[in-house]
């Protein structure tokens, strides 16, 4: 069969009627009408209906067609014809035509599928099938089948289009695409490195790059002036939604520029990227300083699709008689709030008092909240009587209150606690009350970040990375208070409350770079060991330069409006940073470990818990983090022995070589005649004394993030 003559299924059109065509692909779905067989044939371009008719196709072709099943890989030859009136299928782009098959070749058969791949209905009006309700780990285990689904296929095609758009745009602006090393040296960039042992250099390790940061700056020193790369990056971070241990980053660096260069460049690029998904972004993007973002939205990633801005009312209560506020203000505290306009009907007293005040706001880190409702020109609440007329009038004016509004205020001695609680509360209210407009996109530049953050040890650490330029150079690297007041020449691109990327103007002065390292507490020896080669390059005339990186997986996911970045990555890891398809990460043989010098690495010291493995009960206690008292050991060991005996008997009865353990169904069992009664320790609260957090009379656990 000459596949050079093959046409793509999705590219056939009414213009091809009467044409003999060769098609190849997978059986997406089929219907048998008593010898007349209708099949959806699918390839990467789309789907077309092919027909096996006893009146046209040879008998052996019809017999082979009757044996087809879903996902058989086949090739067919036939003639394109227009469908009969009333049989058109609007579910597929080729729904007005079909192919009458005369030849059929089965290229490969398929086993029974673990889940349905087809998501197109064969008949107009029939419900479409979908794999969206299939467990994600099962989809990832058979990702090669999942990739056949048109929805995933289209995501990857559009991802390709977006990447091509990036390449074409940056090429037109004079940028060069240059690859940087994947095996590099470990540097302190914020997250943990993935380490790769070297066989040639025993007990030495490469690190996979968290970003190409150092190399792209060296490219600027090398005179490349404008660089970009769609770089693979690796970070061994704690798991969060929409985060992968390996990801793709659009990395950009340019010389002889300032912040305005990147604002203009990235805005134009973002407009082009989002347009591929049918989204129009307005330019210029607004700008907001880090301080304004924190004070008005409670986060450095503001979602500006709705209002609910934070308002500071600390001064309103400077002379208050309300004891709780007075005590907080006497400790240098802060009071801020939100006006939820026109939502009084949706926020009853019960909801405000029992849900928000007692549960939701404390879960965001605040000790409580105060609420008021605007009714008939006045503010009402269960504590309104404690405030003076002047205070209530000032609140109405400060919040621009109208009847039907609801005020929520949080007071705390720590300003950070107030803003960090109001930030997620603002988002919670907007989502609950439907205040976020659909299909709305609000890009934003956040600028003037703090250069340093305080550490618990009394020092400072870089807010971004140690190569970010400060807003001024005349600072004392040993003055912690002064360091914490410095602002950086950094900028983040935020869209709808998500950080899509960020960057900064870099340090190109070697003495200033050494001051930054000194402020971070690095000695000359540590600086030379970690960054010696980098600083040496600055001895040879480094140009002023800066850069930016965009998280492409996150950006593509937002453009295509997918629920997770895993939907736009060909072979993603799951939420546990594991690969159900390949089984990675996996154990390796002792021979492999010995080859790279990892056996007995670190000398004779045993790993934590090694000694406990010698005794099964000690090991069980260690891995479960449950202590076993001496007086309990004999009883528990007896139970374990009985379990072994029962398992052995069960396995012998079943004829198995290995013991079989089964778990009994969960039921409540009490001694006969025993009445259920609440523990005295539960009544006093002693039972929950060790809980990290308590909600009602229960242990409180972390929320499900996705």
Q: Is residue 88 part of a domain?
A: yes
What does the pLDDT read at residue 608? 54
Q: Is residue 485 part of a domain?
A: no
Give CA separation, 536 vs 38, 179, 228, 542, in Å: 71, 22, 23, 10
Give CA separation, 119 vs 75, 99, 123, in Å: 21, 21, 12
What does the pLDDT read at residue 705? 39
What does the pLDDT read at residue 598? 86
Residue 80 has pLDDT above 60, yes or no: yes
Based on the domain organization, do 326 and 431 belong to the same domain? yes
What does the pLDDT read at residue 635? 87
Which of 581, 599, 617 is the last residue before a domain boundary? 599
Q: Is residue 647 part of a domain?
A: no
Instruction: Give SS3 for 155.
Output: helix
Residue 624 sits at the vertex; the CA angle it makes with 623 and 625, to the nearest 5 degrees, is 95
Q: Is residue 618 part of a domain?
A: no
Q: Is residue 116 part of a domain?
A: no
Residue 183 has pLDDT above 70, yes or no: yes
What does the pLDDT read at residue 57? 95
Print the SS3 string covering 572-640. CCCCCCCCCCCCCCCCCCHHHHHHCCCCCCCCCCCCCCCHHHHCHHHHHHHHHCCCCCHHHHHHHHHHH
Could you tell me if residue 127 is left (phi over 0), alpha (psi between -120 and 50 degrees) or otherwise beta? beta
> What crossing angle do the helices spanning 524-537 and 213-221 adopt, rounded to 10°?
50
Task: Give CA–CA dist 140/144, Å, rounded.
Answer: 8
Residue 604 has pLDDT above 60, yes or no: no
Task: Give CA–CA dist 520/523, Å, rounded.
Answer: 9
pLDDT per residue as tens digits for the range 344-361: 999 999 999 999 999 999
What does the pLDDT read at residue 706? 36
Confidence of residue 704 (pLDDT cuts 50, 70, 90): very low
Residue 551 has pLDDT above 60, yes or no: yes
Based on the domain organization, do 257 and 360 belong to the same domain? no
Q: Is residue 572 part of a domain?
A: yes
pLDDT per residue as tens digits for the range 458-476: 899 998 889 999 999 999 9
What does the pLDDT read at residue 672? 67
pLDDT per residue as tens digits for the range 428-440: 999 999 999 999 9
Of 242, 273, 277, 246, give the one whose Cα is nearest residue 566: 242
- Distance, first Cα to last Cα, the chain: 48
Stronger pLDDT, 527 or 241, i.e. the higher one: 527
Q: How would you label 555-572 residue by residue, b for 16+ Cβ within 10 Å and e otherwise? A: bbbbbbebeebbbbbeeb
Domain harbouring 400, CATH code: 3.30.1360.30
Based on the domain organization, do 98 and 164 belong to the same domain? no
Q: Is residue 525 part of a domain?
A: no
Q: Is residue 489 part of a domain?
A: no
Dump strand ranges (E) for 309-391. 311-312, 334-340, 370-375, 378-380
Element (H, E) at 42: strand 36-43
Which of 560, 582, 599 is the last residue before a domain boundary? 599
Based on the domain organization, do 264 and 373 belong to the same domain? no
Task: Give CA–CA dist 443/430, Å, rounded.
Answer: 18
With pLDDT > 90 as the criterion, what percentage of the chain qualifies?
71
How many domains does the chain divide into?
3
* 94 alpha-carbon distance from chain centroid: 36
Sequence-ordered list of residues with C-beta below 8 angstroms from that of 405, at least 6 positions apart, any chain: 339, 340, 341, 342, 343, 344, 373, 374, 399
What does the pLDDT read at residue 129? 63
Which letter does DSSP use for residue 481 in this model?
A: H
Written as six digits, the tokens of 98 are 């079909």
Based on the domain organization, do 177 and 270 belong to the same domain? yes
Written as six digits, the tokens of 584 are 């990675």
Q: How many CA atoms lie within 13 A of 274 on its CB side?
A: 19
Based on the domain organization, do 261 and 318 belong to the same domain? no
The pairs formed by 663-668 with CB atoms below 8 angstroms and a separation of 24 or more are none
Which letter does DSSP use for residue 309 in this model?
A: -
* 32: containing domain: 3-108
Domain harbouring 34, CATH code: 2.40.50.140
CB 106 within 8 A of CB 74: yes
Residue owning tokens 């972390």:
702
Task: Give CA–CA dist 154/148, Å, rounded.
Answer: 10
Of 556, 558, 536, 551, give the one whose Cα is nearest residue 252: 551
Least trusted range by pLDDT, from 236-250, 377-391, 503-517: 236-250
Based on the domain organization, do 58 and 176 belong to the same domain? no
Of 421, 413, 431, give the one whose Cα is nearest residue 337: 421
pLDDT per residue as tens digits for the range 624-680: 767 788 888 888 888 888 888 887 777 666 655 555 555 566 666 666 666 667 777
**Helix H segments across 223-320?**
259-276, 290-297
Based on the domain organization, do 260 and 311 belong to the same domain? no
What pTM does this model have?
0.82
Task: Give CA–CA dist 21/83, Å, rounded.
Answer: 16
The partner residues of 234 in beta bridges, in order of sequence, read: 246
What does the pLDDT read at residue 443? 97
Task: Give CA–CA dist 52/72, Å, rounded.
Answer: 16
With pLDDT > 70 as the criterion, what percentage of the chain qualifies?
89
Task: Give CA–CA dist 560/549, Å, rounded.
Answer: 20
Based on the domain organization, do 275 and 345 belong to the same domain? no
Per the prediction, the chain carries an average pLDDT of: 89
Report the chain's C-alpha Rg in angstroms: 32
Based on the domain organization, do 249 and 312 belong to the same domain? no
Based on the domain organization, do 325 and 214 belong to the same domain? no
Domain harbouring 230, CATH code: 3.30.930.10
Which of 392, 419, 436 is the last residue before a domain boundary? 436
Based on the domain organization, do 10 and 66 belong to the same domain? yes
């Amino acid at each position: 069969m000459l596949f050079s003559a093959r046409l793509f299924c999705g590219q056939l059109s009414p213009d091809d009627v009467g044409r003999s065509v060769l098609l190849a692909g997978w059986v997406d779905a089929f219907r048998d009408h008593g010898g007349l067989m209708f099949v959806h044939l699918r390839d990467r371009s789309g789907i077309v209906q092919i027909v096996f008719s006893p009146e046209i196709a040879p008998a052996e072709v019809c017999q082979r067609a009757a044996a087809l099943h879903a996902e058989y890989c086949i090739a067919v030859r036939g003639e394109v014809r227009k469908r009969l009136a009333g049989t058109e299928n609007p579910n597929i782009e080729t729904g007005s035509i079909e192919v009458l098959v005369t030849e059929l070749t089965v290229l490969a058969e398929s086993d029974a599928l673990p889940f349905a791949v087809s998501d197109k209905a064969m008949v107009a009006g029939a419900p479409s099938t979908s794999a969206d309700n299939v467990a994600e780990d099962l989809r990832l285990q058979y990702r090669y089948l999942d990739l056949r689904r048109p929805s995933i296929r289209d995501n990857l095609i559009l991802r390709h289009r977006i990447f091509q758009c990036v390449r074409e745009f940056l090429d037109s602006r004079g940028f060069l695409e240059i690859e940087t090393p994947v095996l590099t040296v470990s540097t302190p960039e914020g997250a943990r490195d993935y380490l790769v042992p070297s066989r040639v250099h025993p007990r030495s390790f490469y690190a996979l790059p968290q970003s190409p940061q150092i190399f792209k700056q060296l490219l600027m020193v090398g005179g490349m002036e404008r660089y970009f790369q769609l770089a693979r990056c690796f970070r061994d971070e704690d798991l969060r939604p929409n985060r992968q241990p390996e990801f793709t980053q659009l990395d950009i660096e340019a010389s002889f520029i300032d912040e305005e260069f990147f604002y203009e460049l990235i805005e134009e690029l973002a407009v082009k990227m989002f347009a591929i998904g049918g989204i129009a972004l307005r330019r210029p993007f607004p700008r907001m300083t880090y301080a304004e973002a924190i004070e008005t939205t409670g986060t450095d990633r503001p979602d500006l699709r709705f209002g609910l801005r934070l308002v500071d009312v600390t001064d309103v209560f400077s002379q208050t008689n309300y004891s709780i506020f007075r005590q907080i203000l006497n400790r240098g505290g802060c009071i801020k709030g939100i006006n939820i306009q026109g939502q009084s009907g949706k926020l009853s007293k019960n909801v405000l008092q029992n849900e928000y005040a007692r549960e939701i706001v404390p879960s965001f880190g605040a000790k409580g909240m105060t609420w008021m409702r605007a009714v008939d020109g006045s503010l009402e609440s269960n504590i309104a009587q404690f405030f003076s007329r002047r205070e209530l009038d000032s609140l109405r004016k400060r919040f621009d209150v109208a009847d039907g509004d609801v005020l929520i205020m949080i007071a705390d001695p720590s300003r950070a606690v107030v803003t960090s609680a109001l930030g997620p509360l603002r988002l919670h209210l907007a989502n609950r009350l439907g205040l976020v407009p659909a299909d709305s996109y609000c890009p934003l530049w956040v600028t003037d970040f703090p250069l340093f953050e305080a550490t618990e040890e009394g020092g400072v650490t870089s807010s971004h990375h140690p190569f970010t330029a400060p807003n001024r150079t005349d600072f004392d690297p040993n003055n912690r208070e002064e360091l914490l007041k410095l602002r950086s020449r950094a900028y983040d691109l935020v869209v709808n409350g998500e950080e899509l990327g960020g960057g900064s103007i870099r340090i190109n002065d070697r003495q200033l770079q050494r001051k930054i390292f000194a402020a971070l507490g690095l000695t000359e020896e540590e600086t030379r060991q970690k960054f010696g080669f980098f600083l040496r390059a600055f001895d040879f005339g480094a140009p002023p330069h800066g850069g930016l990186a965009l998280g492409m997986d996150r950006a593509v996911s937002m453009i295509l409006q997918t629920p997770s970045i895993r939907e736009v990555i060909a072979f993603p890891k799951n939420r546990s940073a594991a690969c159900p398809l390949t089984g990675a990460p996996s154990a390796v043989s002792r021979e492999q470990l010995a080859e790279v010098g990892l056996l007995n690495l670190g000398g004779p010291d045993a790993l934590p818990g090694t000694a406990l493995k010698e005794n099964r009960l000690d090991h069980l206690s260690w891995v479960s983090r449950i202590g076993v008292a001496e007086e309990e050991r004999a009883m528990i060991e007896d139970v374990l022995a009985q379990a072994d005996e029962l398992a052995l008997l069960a396995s012998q009865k079943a004829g198995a070589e290995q013991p079989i353990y089964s778990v009994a169904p969960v039921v409540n069992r009490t001694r006969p005649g025993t009445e259920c009664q609440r523990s005295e320790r539960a009544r006093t609260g002693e039972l929950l004394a060790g809980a990290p957090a308590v909600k009602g009379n229960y242990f409180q656990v972390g929320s499900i993030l996705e």
